[in-house]
Amino acid sequence: MSLPCWLLRACGLVLSLATLSPALASDIEAQSRALQRAREAVVSVEVQIVEGARTAQTLGTERQGSGVLISDDGLVLTIGYLVLEAESVQIVTEDGRRLPARVVAYDQATGFGLVQALAPVGVAPAPLAPGRAAPGEVALTVVSGGDEGEVDAVQLVSRRAYAGSWEYHVEGALFTVPPVQQHSGAALFNPRGELLGVGSLALPDARGPGQPRAPGNLFVPVELLRPVLAEMRAQGRSSASARPWLGLNCAETTGEVRVLRVTTDSPADVAGVQPGDRITRVDGQRVAALSQLWLGLWANSTPERPVELEIERRGRPMTITVHAVDRAKTLVRAQGI
């Protein structure tokens, strides 16, 4: 019996299988088969962005990452920012086949994206993990799809909420070490070949407060997908994604939240919010952390409504009313879609 070299490297196995008990060797062989099937379900996702896309400046006009086949009808789960304002999508299988695909959904609330292969993928889909992964678990990251896919061993070191500098907040995010460079849409599997999460970010510190700093990655957990998958397939997003959007990027330091960047022609830009402004309240709720800002903004989920921001600008308090919009209405779509 032999195991593929990538599995031996990923699992850190240094013992000869001949030295293992028959039962343990059988378990390892079964894991090897499950993980090989999982690896085959991971594809490369190549995206061309529509002309005039609002996200082109920050995310580029050509994007490449990974995705994982999750259904027999060719549905591929990936990270949403890869497919924002897509003109065309191709997926590339492990054996190098290039297949056209279409965007099915971008879900702002979770950060997931869905694309549909328009030709048979010809491999079995990866199963979703039935439970929640626990810190300390060794998992396998399929870094990139296509014929140059890589597999790395990582450890799940933390599960906690994460608030992004952009208007994003996710509960129960998975944090892993060591860092993986090609993380966008990467598939995080447990040793049984079940999908745990989809790669989103590289971070300078994955372990979190009170722990030794270590660079790593953030994965969006698949348990967030199950309740919204039907909505995403039917409507292109979950109902939770219909919420107010301002067009802000902010940073949290020492109990303060300050504006880093204001998206051009966004509601915040039109209202006069400026980089450097300190946000102290949103709709009357105190703001001292990014999570308080975003969750306070979405406490009233009506997308198109006035939002009251209390700010300090160069030490002077001000109140600014921002007329929020539904972000989906601001995105450029491919012609005919």
Query: Residue 104 is part of a domain; what is its CATH number?
Result: 2.40.10.10
Return d(Cα 182, Cα 64) in angstroms, integer.
10
Cα 273 to Cα 77, 194, 252, 321, 337, distances in angstroms: 35, 45, 17, 9, 33
CATH of the domain at 267: 2.30.42.10
Q: Is 271 helix (H, G, I), strand (E, B) or coil?
A: helix
Q: What is the domain range of residue 276?
A: 242-330
For 33, the token pair is 């088969």
Q: 139: closest CA among 152, 125, 127, 124?
A: 152
CA–centroid distance for 26 within its chain: 35
Q: What is the DSSP string of 287-301?
A: -SSHHHHHHHHHTS-
Q: Looking at residue 317, what is its pLDDT?
A: 98
Alpha-carbon distance 310 to 303, whole Å? 20
Tell me the torsion sign for CA atoms 312, 163, 150, 105.
Answer: negative
- Decide which of 90, 124, 158 is a domain's last residue: 124
pLDDT < 70: residue spans in the chain: 1-21, 23-27, 143-149, 335-337
- What per-residue string of b and e applies to 154-165 under the rule 16 or more CB within 10 Å gives b? bbbbbbeebbbe
Residue 230 domain-assigned?
A: no
Token digits of residue 188: 């995080």
Residue 118 is classified by DSSP as: S
- Residue of 325, 263, 251, 314 whose CA lies nearest to 288: 251
**81 part of a folded domain:** yes
Q: Is residue 138 part of a domain?
A: no
Cβ 79 vs Cβ 220: under 8 Å: yes
Separation CA 145–CA 185 (nearest Å): 9
pLDDT value for 18: 54
Tell me whether residue 106 is in a domain: yes
DSSP 3-state of 39: helix
User: End of a domain among 124, 142, 164?
Assistant: 124
| pLDDT for the residue numbered 283 | 98
Give residue for tokens 């190549």: 46
Distance separating alpha carbons of residues 256 and 174, to the nearest angstrom: 25
- Reading the block at residue 204, the tokens are 């300078």
Please report whether residue 315 resides in a domain. Answer: yes
Task: Round the CA-based radius of gyration of the chain to a whole number and report it.
Answer: 21
Of 124, 159, 189, the position where a domain reaches its end is 124
Residue 321 lies in a domain: yes
Query: Does some domain include residue 207?
Result: no
- How many domains, the chain? 2
Residue 140 lies inside a defined structural domain of this protein: no
The answer to whether 98 and 92 are in contact (CB under 8 A) is yes
C-beta separation of 8 from 29 below 8 A: no
The reply to whether omega before 22 is within 30° of 0 (cis) is no
